[in-house]
A and B are shown apart, each in its own frame.
Chain A
Amino acid sequence: MNHDKENFHQLACICDKCQYDEASFLEKVQFKLHLMFCETCKDYAAKNNRLTTLIKQANISCLSLEEQKELKSYLKDKIT
């Protein structure tokens, strides 16, 4: 199936939302149906799933917003 760039972008965003389990029921159904006919999106979804698995596998940590703010103010105090 061919679709224009904007349409692909919308579908890709739904696919991304699915990775975070934040797509609505309707969006999920719409996307699943689309995947039955579209190789481009199927390929994108497969890569997206693999990326999610890799990120989980890497077990990455990062600071929360609050922790970042704390660290910033600590450092600011020390600089001044």
Chain B
Amino acid sequence: MAKNLYTITPDRWVETHSDYLFNFAMGKVNDRDIAKDLISETFLAALKAKDNFKGEASERTWLVAILKRKIIDYYRKINSNKGKAEVKVNYFSADNDGDWLEERIENPDYVTIEDNIINNELSEAIYACLDKINPRQATIFKLKTIENYDTEVICNEYNITPSNLWVIIHRVRAALADCLKEKWLS
């Protein structure tokens, strides 16, 4: 039986995949500018390699695979630069906690590895749910909820009234709650 092959649409990459890829990159490098550069490099590499896309995996899986390689390259590069430029002073050892005052104070923002795994899983789940929603509404929701844009700015950009905006926000929140209810909202 003939297999359905995926296709690629580079002119839709920013709308469909940039936020997901950016979120993924932020999780790995935790720097907005570096994450943006990595996304640009990923798209550029993908454009160059688009003829090699066989369509066996989805466009997003393919782009994420390229992004992962870019992230590895990024860390390789900064680690090799570090080795040349830095002298590491190691005052920390297993039986000595170090004398710096900052290190002795408990960090209130301290996140355990388990918390990180759960949060990553949660952010994947939220993005998967948002992918099922109308892309325009999902973008408006993300700008309002994640980027904390003013209602007025979004209304001007998308040429909608504040009432329209709240209706969209309500629809997306309801859809998101419905999508997340089994695993996360019960």
Q: Does B75 contact A (CB under 8 A)?
A: no
Q: Quick one: which of B23, B44, B126, B149 contacts A65, CB cutoff 8 A? A: B149
Compute how far the CA of A34 lies from the CA of B29 in the bound complex, rounded to whole angstroms. Answer: 46
- Are A75 and B10 in contact, CB atoms less than 8 angstroms apart? yes
- Are B142 and A57 in contact, CB atoms less than 8 angstroms apart? no
Q: A51-B176, A51-B180, A61-B22 are in contact. List 9 more A-B contacts (CB 8 A).
A: A16-B169, A60-B142, A60-B146, A62-B146, A63-B36, A67-B36, A75-B43, A76-B11, A79-B47
Q: Does B160 contact A (CB under 8 A)?
A: no
Compute how far the CA of A20 lies from the CA of B19 in the bound complex, rounded to whole angstroms. Answer: 21
Compute how far the CA of A55 lies from the CA of B147 in the bound complex, rounded to whole angstroms. Answer: 12
B157-172 to A contact mask, C-beta < 8 Å, 1/0: 1000000001101100
Interface residues of B in 136-155 (CB under 8 A from A): 142-147, 149, 151, 153
Q: Does B173 contact A (CB under 8 A)?
A: yes
Residues of A in contact, count (CB < 8 Å): 32
Count of CB-CB pairs between chains A and B under 8 Å: 98
A34-59 to B contact mask, C-beta < 8 Å, 1/0: 00000000000001101100110111
Q: Does A32 contact B (CB under 8 A)?
A: no
- Are B14 and A68 in contact, CB atoms less than 8 angstroms apart? yes
Compute how far the CA of A65 lies from the CA of B123 in the bound complex, rounded to whole angstroms. Answer: 20
Subset of 29 A-B contacts with CB under 8 Å: A9-B170, A13-B166, A13-B170, A16-B170, A19-B173, A22-B151, A50-B185, A51-B185, A54-B122, A54-B180, A55-B146, A58-B123, A60-B142, A61-B23, A61-B26, A61-B146, A62-B146, A62-B147, A64-B143, A64-B147, A67-B36, A68-B14, A68-B18, A71-B14, A71-B18, A75-B13, A75-B43, A75-B47, A78-B44
